[in-house]
Each structure stands twice: as C-alpha cells, then as structure tokens.
Structure 1
Amino acid sequence: MSADYVTFGLAPAMRAGGVLINGDYQVHRDFMDFIIDGHPLLHQLSDLDAVSPLASDVPPAIFTAQVRSLLLEADAPLPAGRYVIYGCPECESLECGAVTAVIERVGEDFVWRDFAWQTDETADLDLNGYHGIGPYRFRGQEYRTALEQLLAAGDEEPPPRRRVLLIGARVDVLAKLAAALRTINIGADITSDAADVPPEELRAYGAVAFGRAVDEHTRATTRAAFERAGAEVAYVDGLAPIVPLLVAQLEAALDRSPPERRRLAGLVAVEGEAGVEVTSTCRVQLIAYRLDRLYRTHTHEVFHDVLEPGTHRIPLDARATKGQSFIVARTTGAVLVTRMIH
C-alpha cells in the first residue's frame, strides 16, 4: 500500500434542522465526523447532505455495532468489503445514496480506499467513484484509540442536549416554535420563570431562548438558576416572532462542533449586502425574513449557489431586506443568523 500516513480523529458535528422556505421540515442530527489530517472528511464532499453512522440518536446497541464495524470486528455490511461512511440523514435506506469505502487492515494499519457514491449493493467506481479522495492510511493505534474511546465513554458520556427552554410573553408564538422544534428532533419546553425548575432538569437543556418582551429581571434570575445548577447553556435573544428565524437561531446556538472546523464561519448583513465566510467549498443559501409595518412576515430566498473558501460579498434584493429584516445563511451542517443593519 503506497498511501502516506494521515492522522485520524473524531469531532462532534451536526446536520442542522430547520423550517425550510417551502414549509417543509429538515430534521436535526448530531453525529461524530471523521477528522482526516485535522480536517472534516465531510467538507471534501461540497454538496452532500449526510451524516456518519456514528449518530447520537441511534440506539446504543446499534451505535456500538457501527463502531465495531469500523474497527473491522464485524463483517462488512456491503459486498467487496465496503462500509458506509456517510448516509442519508432522514432514513437508513441505501436507495437514498451513501458514501462508501473499502476498509481493510494492512499489518497494524487501517486503510480507507475506493470512495464511491452508492445507491444499491454494488459500487461503480468508474461512474460514481470519488477519485480525488483517499486512499487514507491510518496508524492502527491512533485509529483504534479514537473509536474505542466512543465505546469506553458508554453511559459516562452525557447525550447531546437537544432540548431548549423557551421564555416569552407571546404564548402563541412559543407554542408554534416548540411544535416546530419537536418536529425537527429538538425537545422544547415553555416557561415563564426558570427559578423553581429542579437543577437536574435545567442540566438537560442546551439553550435558552428569550422573547423580546422578557424583562431584565427574568433574564437575570434565569441565568442565576442555570449557574446554580452548574449547567452551561447558550442564551438566545429572539430577533423577531418569526418561527423559521427563531428555529435557525436555536440551531446555531446548539452547534457543538469546534468553531475552527465549521464550514460556515461568519455572516454579516449591512446596507443591502451580506458578507459570508466559508472554510470549504459548499452550497450556501441565504434567506431574508422581513416584518412589514403591520408585522406581517415576508420571506425571500436571496441567494443560492456554491461558494469557494473565503469571504464573499453578496448583494441582496433591496425589496427583500428593507425595514426590519434578518438574514439566515444555511449550508450543509451549519446555519447562521444576523440582523440587517441599515
């Protein structure tokens, strides 16, 4: 095997859920991504909406079986020694398509090679092979240690906190927001005061969202309650009573991936122009949400295209961003939100 050695690691990642512009829902998924030579492997697949088999919401027995499989302690699930590296985030069907690779042991080392897009039992490398990816040769000890740590964590590792606490005055908006969050696989509870919530319950939350009408006293007592419980959470100030916008804000707050490995690194919107920073080639969608004088919501897709790594200045439709407006940037696995500054 002529492949040079590369490093192998794992890091938290997510497939951001959301309420899409057409009203459909996209499910939230937390998973462990494969880090090759310090970079997420998924980022090399610029337009792929997928998750690794190491997803946090699969049953423990299945999660363990997936880890054992990657360690070659079980037979390959596909012919010719092929394993699923990334699959559909909505289901487990191979018909939706999956990135697969041959995994083999060479002496003490592990090798991933012959990456391909696969929709049935047999991979066609000539037609659907990822010829620019791999082969990767990992030192056996490093590879085994990274994967076995997932097994060793077991019950000691707390599950991702995919629950949010909603605090606000507009019960109708909170109810719609909670329903949308639950639909995309994020738990949500509504309260007017967190001071009397038991500490063990507070530690189950990953984020707290405050409505615009919540006063400073309530905000302060809520923060104090979480501090007493020893719970570190992200605090979100709701930008506007627009459910898809609030869902996007909470998705951004729940992102556990290391900041230096995020594909979508920055978003600003000033005077009809958006500044978007991406760290790898990816498709980016920009959606503008606007409240008119009667507080009616207007939604417009203002950009949808592939961007190369770097910072990009994108002109925005003036009609879509006038007045009180907000921009949501979405790409594979990441979402950011900002207010339009005029």
Structure 2
Amino acid sequence: MSGAYATFDLAPATRAGGVLADGRYQVHRDFVDFVVDGRPLLFQLSDLDGVSPLASDVPPAIFTEQVRALLLEAEPPLPAGRFVLYGCPECEDLGCGAVTAVIERDGEDYVWRDFAWQTDEHADLERNGYPGMGPFRFRGPEYRAALTALRDGSAAPRRRVLLIGARVAVLARLAAALRTIGIGADITQDARGVTAEELRGYGAVAFGRAVGPAERAAVLRAFEQAGAEVAAVDGLAPIVPLLVAQIEHALGRGPLPRRLLTALAATGTTADVEVGAACRVRITAYRLDRLHRTRTEEVFDGALEPGRHRVPLDPRAVRGQAYVVARTAGDVRAAPVVGGQRRRARPTVTGGERG
C-alpha cells in the first residue's frame, strides 16, 4: 500500500457539558483528540457529538489498554480489524453509534482506513461509510512517539471549580448542576482559608456579581501564591445554565484555533457567531423578568459553515437583562445581549394626579 504521509499528533479536547434548555443535563467529558495534518479529526466529522477512547475519566488500566490498542499491541475490539475512534459521550455504548476505522501496519507505517459510522459489530461501508475520509498513512516513529508519551503519563485535567459569592442558594444550585455533569464544585466565602494544595486542584474560580474588586483580587492572589494557574469567571447573572456555560468555556482545554466556537456577541436584534469548522450550533436566550424569574428560549438550531454568521434574534426573547449561550457538540460560549430592548417603566402616580 502506498500513499502520501499525513502528520499525526494528539491534543486535549473537551465535550462541553451543560444544562440544556429543556432541563436535561449534558455530561462534561475531557479527552485526547487525534490531530491529523494539523487539524482535529473530530472537526472533519461534521456535527458529531463524540469523544475518543482516550478520555480522562476512564480508569488508568483501561486508558492504557486503549493506547495499546491504537499501537496495535492489543486485539481490535471489533471484527475485521476495526477500532472505535469516537463513541457516545454519555454511555460509550456501541448501540448509540460510533465512528470506527481499520487500523493496520504497513511496514513501519500505521494506516487508518475505511472510516464508518457503526451501531453493531459489523460496519456497512456502502451505507454508513465516510467517503473522502482517509486513508491516512502515518510515519511509525511519529505515531508511536505521540501515543507512547501519552501512555507513559500526562497530567490529569483539573475539572474542579471554586464558587465564591453572596447568594448561597444560587451557588448551591450551581454546584449541584456542575456535579451532575461531571465537574467538581466547592463553595466558599473566603479562599484564604483554603490550603495551597487544594487551590492547585481547581481549574477555575467563579465569582458572583456581589463579590467586590478587592475580594476578587485577594482570591486570585491566593491562587498565585499557591502556584496555581486558574481561569477566573465573572458570573453574568444568577441564571444557573448561563453560569454553567461560562464555567464550561473557562475549563475548555483546547487552544483557540482548535475550538469550534471562536467568537460570540449579541445585540437586541442579532447574535454574531464565528465557527472554525462546519458544525451544528444551538443558541439559547436567557433573560430575567420583572420578578427575577429565568425565561429561556431556543432562538437558533442549525448547521453553520466555517466563518462568521449573523443570526437574527426575536427582540421579545432578549428584552431587558438578557444573555445568549451558543453551543456545539464540543464547545460552548456565553455573552450578554448589548443594547437590548428595555422594559417599559411601571407607571407611577404623582401627587398632582391623586384624586
């Protein structure tokens, strides 16, 4: 078998979790993605919600076995020499569907070919194959070096967040939502009482709107003194799904060029979103009504090509204090609505109008 070589690399990736508009939870998963010719392979599979077998939350023995399989040091899990490259992020069951491929040796080289969507033990390439995808030929030393380094040890991602704010009820609901999707969350009023070792275990710290600049600076200084690099999240509003989206974005492990959602902004009439690859994007609007109740509305759900897009918004969905969350299978962003329609002031009765 002959053919041009493709480059092979690995990169950290995230399947963003969250609280969806209908109240369901989407589990957060950190994993290692395959980078082929400088581009994540997952991006080449448009609108796929999946994670690789190299997920950070699998037991170490299973993780090592997955790496050994990709190195062809273990038997393939499926007939005809097929290996799972991306599976269901919720249950990893083959019945939910998986992207598979044949992995084989050709001399010193490794070859990935015959990509297919598979829901049982046998792949139907004619019906469920990926035409135009591969075959990819990787140089053996480069391929083995990347996977061997991963097997020999990589730092586990810090999927914990420290929550600081005045509204205990909101923080409790937020912590519960984060734990449900697989992110550890702790609540404190004063980070100065947290040990340096504990602080180094957090990947993000989230501040409520009532936290003042001096208190915020003191918390970040405590992290700095502990030698911990942490992402700071300033909560936009006491809306749990919105705060979850902000924290998910802060915990995202991929560098910007490898993220699907690269920009998001919104006004009272449009949402401007930029994507790095073809993907399905869902945009949800959140607002607080007069009684500070959360109102939620799905404003867009569709496929977008790479580049910048302007999505029209219903002014009624984003009037007053409003925010938008854009979500793909592997990324999420949140933004305030700027210049939205203001609520009409309640009529008042002046002294001269009294009877």
Which TM bucket (shorter chain)?
over 0.9
Residues 291, 325 of structure 1: 8 Å contact kept: yes
Report 1:187-336 matches (<5 A): 187-336=184-333
TM-score after normalising by structure 1 = 0.98
For residues 138 and 300 of structure 1, what CA distance do their matches in structure 2 show? 46
For residues 285 and 238 of structure 1, what CA distance do their matches in structure 2 show? 21
Deviation per residue, 1:199-222 (Å, 9 max, x gap): 000000000000001122211110
Cα drift, residue 271 of structure 1 = 3.3
**Structure 1, gaps ≥5 residues long:** none
Structure 1 outlier segments of 4+, above 6 Å: none
Cα drift, residue 324 of structure 1 = 0.6
Determine the structure 1 residue equivalent to 2:337: 340
**Aligned-residue CA RMSD (Å):** 0.7
Determine the structure 1 residue equivalent to 2:348: none
Q: What is the identity percentage for the equivalent residue pairs of Structure 1 and Structure 2?
A: 70
Helix, strand or coil at the partner of 1:232: coil
Residues 158, 202 of structure 2: 8 Å contact kept: yes
Residues 268, 319 of structure 2: 8 Å contact kept: no
Cα drift, residue 328 of structure 1 = 0.2
Report 1:30-41 matches (<5 A): 30-41=30-41
**Structure 2, gaps ≥5 residues long:** 340-355
Determine the structure 2 residue equivalent to 1:20: 20
Please say which structure displays the higher CA radius of gyration.
2
Residues 11, 258 of structure 1: 8 Å contact kept: no
The residue type equivalent to 2:162 in the other structure is L
2:104 paired with 1:98? no
Q: Which moved more, 1:22-31 or 1:262-271?
A: 262-271
For residues 279 and 259 of structure 1, what CA distance do their matches in structure 2 show? 9
Residues 207, 233 of structure 2: 8 Å contact kept: yes
Determine the structure 2 residue equivalent to 1:139: 139
Deviation per residue, 1:136-165 (Å, 9 max, x gap): 000000000000011122xxx331100000
Cα drift, residue 296 of structure 1 = 1.3
Cα drift, residue 3 of structure 1 = 2.9
The residue type equivalent to 1:136 in the other structure is F
Determine the structure 2 residue equivalent to 1:128: 128
Helix, strand or coil at the partner of 2:112: strand
Cα drift, residue 305 of structure 1 = 0.3
Cα drift, residue 132 of structure 1 = 1.7
For residues 136 and 327 of structure 1, what CA distance do their matches in structure 2 show? 39
Deviation per residue, 1:99-125 (Å, 9 max, x gap): 000000000000000000000010000
